[in-house]
């Protein structure tokens, strides 16, 4: 039963399980005698079950179910939680994964009875199943403010319970072990007592029904929390208030998500949150607390299986506060039937020895980096390891910018090679240093490869001051009154939505934001860039995607490519520059940047278009008539700044940067230059904040300007 029964909880736990008709005392004692994971549970933390989603298992055959249950048993697990067997959406029929006779329902076409298949195979495998009753899209759409809908949903869910009970309980009396209430409660929407009363009434509608119909089984629910939006003591108070009003039974299970995978919590604050929730559970007689341990992590908007070192850390941190563990979700992220078996092999090794293995993979060899347009293509040979290589970390200038990891099979339609990576979204005329490391399933990391330096091409920006049109108007609070801010060359220096350089767009429907820039004449183009704001607190998010399309007549547009952000991605407020460099130049006058929003708010700054020019020479019919040195942008900058200058005739040019005391910091240009408009990038990553002076000298021309490095 439990992996780790802690001290005083042991007797209480035995008392609880002996009261359940479906789990007599002798079976409880026998389970402790025959289960090696339970016997050794006091010395190590171990998972005892997994959630599973219908999208993974709805069409499984008996053989596939047996494979999964065998993998779970090999990992010492005894429980499976089907996340839901019915799925409701406003205005649509309720989709079921079993043959329902309820009005306005329909079974998913082309699948067998998933619930019967699961219970049938679980029974022969000795796995106990919690059945998730129903899930509704409207729960996530301000459900707590629509109590009428919520209560009616509970009455409907009661009918689902009745139907499931009549179909399966007598058929699988011991295997059909519990109910899972699939509605996930958070620490934001239920902050007030009024909201908590709505939640109490809704849950009691279901609890009372199950009790009165004698369909009551262990009843589990799995709330979550976000440390950015509240604290553990406040969440403890919410649950103490709610639990005081809930008519639960002894043996019901409060099973909070540990939220490590989503990033809502982290390993450093996990203790505070679980300690607080344990205190809340202790106020409710007979209530058990399990942990819903997240087995994934989100990196650059992609879901990866977490390496075993993090998973084991979660188990150990939570061990003093929980009575057992289930996972979200071993079947999806660690099962050898759904991903590389190295995850399970590493985990079982931990179960057998009490510690993770420590052998690091070999360093990848034959590492290469090649500039393609303004992207950098990296390749290397596969590494080796005693258990297996989980993936590779890719570094640019010592910062991890990418991760290539063994894939999961469910929902993965684009499995790319693990030994290659293309770095996009790079600044022009900049030198970058690349390395790669291999890591295994316990996150033992190899030594780095050799480092390779790549310098990107220089670019001439030709779109500043160009006219443009926008498909939807900017929000009146963050306007673009003169239709000039998106090409004026004035950059925001702050990741703050109220900075006047930003233009804010809001659209509840989520239409694309199309900015069409008119260059005035047909020109060869290759380089496209756009600036976007990430500021999570006011719900300003980066776009889902940004496409570039070009036209010569403003009527027929051709798709050129997709802009990529200058990674690495972070969750803090930041300015992101999105880049795309075409492999060959395209001739066009009108350029459309089509932005797909990722929420209600999208904030844009500059849209730029340019040419890659290895000589830095402008077109002959657009040569400057005099020397000039432009103000760097952005200003203040951190850590890079772009400086533009004009040379009207051939000659020797020197551009240098000095600190405030007049000491030379860096020489940016020191060579003969042909007439043209030029752009260079100054990188101040190794400098301290402060004022710097940059100068240009050519023949009798001399000019200096100030710039501010602000970290």
Could you name the CATH architecture of 368-456? Sandwich (2.60)
To which residue do tokens 């239409």 refer?
511
Which pLDDT value is given to residue 571?
64
Q: What pLDDT is recorded for position 569?
A: 62
Q: Where are the domains of the chain?
A: 47-353, 368-456, 459-614, 615-711
Assess whether pLDDT exceeds 80 at residue 206. yes
Interatomic CA distance for residues 152 and 146, integer angstroms: 10
The answer on pLDDT for 118 being more than 90 is yes
Q: What fold does the segment set 615-711 form as a domain?
A: Immunoglobulin-like (2.60.40)
Tell how far CA 357 is from the center of its chain. 28
pLDDT at residue 186 in the model: 93
Domain 47-353: give its CATH code: 3.20.20.80
Rounded Cα distance, 247 and 208, in Å? 7
Higher pLDDT: 651 or 300? It is 651
Topology match between the domains 47-353 and 368-456? no
Which range, 130-144, 275-289, 535-549, is most confident? 275-289
483: alpha, beta or left, given left = phi > 0 and alpha = psi -120 to 50?
Answer: left
Average pLDDT of the residues in 213-222: 98
Burial of residue 625, with CB atoms counted within 10 A of its CB: 0-12 exposed, 13-18 middle, 19 or more buried: exposed
Residues 6+ apart with CB under 8 A from 689: 709, 710, 711
Cα distance between residue 541 and residue 125, in whole Å: 46
Each residue's pLDDT tens digit, 46-82 = 999 999 999 999 999 999 999 999 999 999 999 999 9
Provide the whole-model pTM: 0.74
Q: Can you spell out the DSSP letters for 165-216?
A: IIIIITTSTTTEEEEEE-PPP-SSTT-SHHHHHHHHHHHHHHHHHHHHTT--
Banded model confidence at residue 567, pLDDT cuts 50, 70, 90: low
Task: Answer with the residue of higher pLDDT: 398 or 30.
Answer: 398
Q: pLDDT (tens digit, 9 = 90+) per residue, 330-380?
A: 999 999 999 999 999 999 999 999 999 999 999 999 999 998 877 899 999
pLDDT band at 617 (very low <50, low <70, confident <90, very high): very low
The overall average pLDDT reported for the chain is 88
| CA-based R_g, the chain, Å | 30
Render 270-337 in DSSP notation, one character per residue.
Answer: HHHHHHHHHHHHTTSTT-EEEEEEE-EEEETTEEEEPPHHHHHHHHHHHGGG-SEEEEE-HHHHT-TT
The answer to whether 548 and 570 have CB atoms below 8 angstroms apart is no
464, 474, 519, 554, 653 from 482: Cα distances, Å: 15, 11, 17, 21, 37
* Cβ atoms of residues 311 and 295 within 8 Å: yes
Tell me, which fold does domain 459-614 have in CATH?
Jelly Rolls (2.60.120)
pLDDT of residue 104: 93
What lies within 8 Å, CB to CB, of 198 at 6+ separation is 144, 147, 150
Cα–Cα dist 373/369, whole Å: 13
């Amino acid at each position: 039963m439990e992996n780790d029964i802690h001290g005083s909880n042991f007797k209480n736990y035995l008392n609880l399980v002996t009261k359940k008709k479906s789990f007599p005392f002798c079976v409880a004692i026998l389970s402790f005698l025959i289960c090696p994971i339970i016997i050794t549970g006091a010395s190590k933390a171990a998972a005892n079950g997994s959630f599973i989603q219908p999208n993974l298992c709805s069409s499984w055959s008996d053989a596939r179910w047996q494979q999964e249950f065998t993998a779970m048993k090999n990992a010492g697990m005894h429980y499976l939680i089907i996340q839901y067997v019915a799925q409701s959406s406003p205005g649509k029929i309720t989709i079921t994964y079993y043959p329902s006779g309820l009005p306005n329902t329909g079974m998913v076409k082309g699948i067998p009875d998933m619930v019967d298949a699961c219970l049938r195979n679980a029974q022969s495998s000795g796995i106990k199943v919690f059945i998730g009753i129903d899930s509704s899209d409207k729960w996530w759409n301000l459900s707590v403010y629509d109590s009428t809908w919520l209560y009616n949903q509970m009455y409907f869910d009661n009918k689902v319970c009745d139907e499931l009970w009549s179909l399966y309980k007598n058929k699988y009396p011991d295997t059909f072990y519990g109910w899972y209430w699939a509605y996930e409660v958070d620490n934001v929407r239920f902050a007030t007592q009024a909201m908590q009363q709505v939640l109490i009434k809704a849950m009691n509608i279901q609890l009372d029904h199950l009790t009165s119909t004698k369909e009551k089984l262990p009843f589990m629910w799995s709330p979550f929390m976000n440390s950015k939006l509240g604290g553990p003591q406040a969440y403890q108070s919410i649950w103490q208030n709610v639990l005081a009003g809930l008519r639960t039974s002894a043996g019901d299970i409060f099973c909070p998500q540990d939220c490590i995978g989503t990033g809502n919590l982290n390993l450093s604050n996990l203790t505070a949150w679980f300690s607080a929730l344990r205190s809340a559970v202790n106020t409710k007689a007979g209530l058990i607390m399990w942990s819903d341990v997240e087995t994934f992590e989100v990196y650059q908007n992609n879901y990866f299986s977490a390496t075993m070192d993090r998973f084991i850390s979660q188990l150990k941190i939570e061990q003093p506060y929980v009575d057992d563990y289930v996972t979200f979700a071993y079947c999806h992220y660690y099962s050898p039937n759904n991903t590389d078996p190295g995850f399970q092999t590493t985990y079982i090794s931990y179960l057998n020895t009490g510690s993770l293995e420590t052998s690091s993979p070999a360093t990848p060899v034959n590492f290469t980096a090649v500039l393609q347009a303004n992207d950098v293509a990296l390749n290397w040979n596969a590494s080796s390891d005693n258990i297996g290589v989980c993936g590779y970390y890719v570094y640019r200038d010592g910062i991890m910018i990418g991760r290539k990891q063994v894939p999961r099979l469910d929902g993965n339609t684009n499995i790319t090679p693990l030994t290659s990576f293309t770095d996009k979204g790079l600044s022009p005329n900049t030198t970058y240093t690349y390395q790669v490391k291999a890591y295994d399933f316990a996150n033992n990391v190899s030594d780095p490869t050799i480092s390779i330096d790549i310098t990107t091409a220089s670019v001439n920006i030709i779109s500043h001051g160009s006219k443009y049109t926008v498909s939807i108007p900017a929000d009146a609070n963050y306007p673009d009154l003169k239709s000039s801010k998106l090409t004026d060359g004035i950059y925001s220096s702050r990741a703050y939505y109220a900075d006047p350089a930003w233009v804010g767009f809001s659209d509840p429907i989520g239409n694309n934001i199309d900015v069409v820039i008119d260059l005035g004449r047909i020109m060869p183009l290759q380089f496209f860039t756009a600036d976007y704001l990430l500021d999570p607190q006011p719900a300003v998010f980066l776009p889902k995607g940004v496409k570039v399309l070009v036209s010569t007549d403003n009527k027929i547009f051709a798709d050129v490519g997709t802009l990529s952000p200058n990674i690495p991605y972070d969750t803090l407020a930041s300015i992101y520059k999105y880049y795309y460099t075409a492999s060959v130049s395209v001739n066009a006058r009108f350029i459309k940047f089509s932005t797909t929003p990722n929420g209600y708010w999208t904030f844009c700054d500059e849209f730029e278009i340019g040419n890659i020019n290895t000589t830095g020479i402008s077109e002959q019919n657009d040569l400057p008539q005099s020397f000039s040195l432009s103000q760097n942008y952005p200003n203040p900058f951190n850590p890079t700044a772009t400086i533009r200058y004009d040379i009207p005739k051939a000659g020797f040019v020197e551009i240098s940067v000095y600190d405030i005391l007049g000491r030379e910091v860096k020489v940016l240009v020191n060579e003969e230059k042909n007439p043209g408009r030029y752009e260079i990038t100054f990188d101040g990553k190794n400098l301290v904040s402060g004022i710097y002076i940059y100068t240009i000298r050519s023949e009798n021309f001399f000019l200096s300007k100030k710039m501010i490095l602000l970290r």
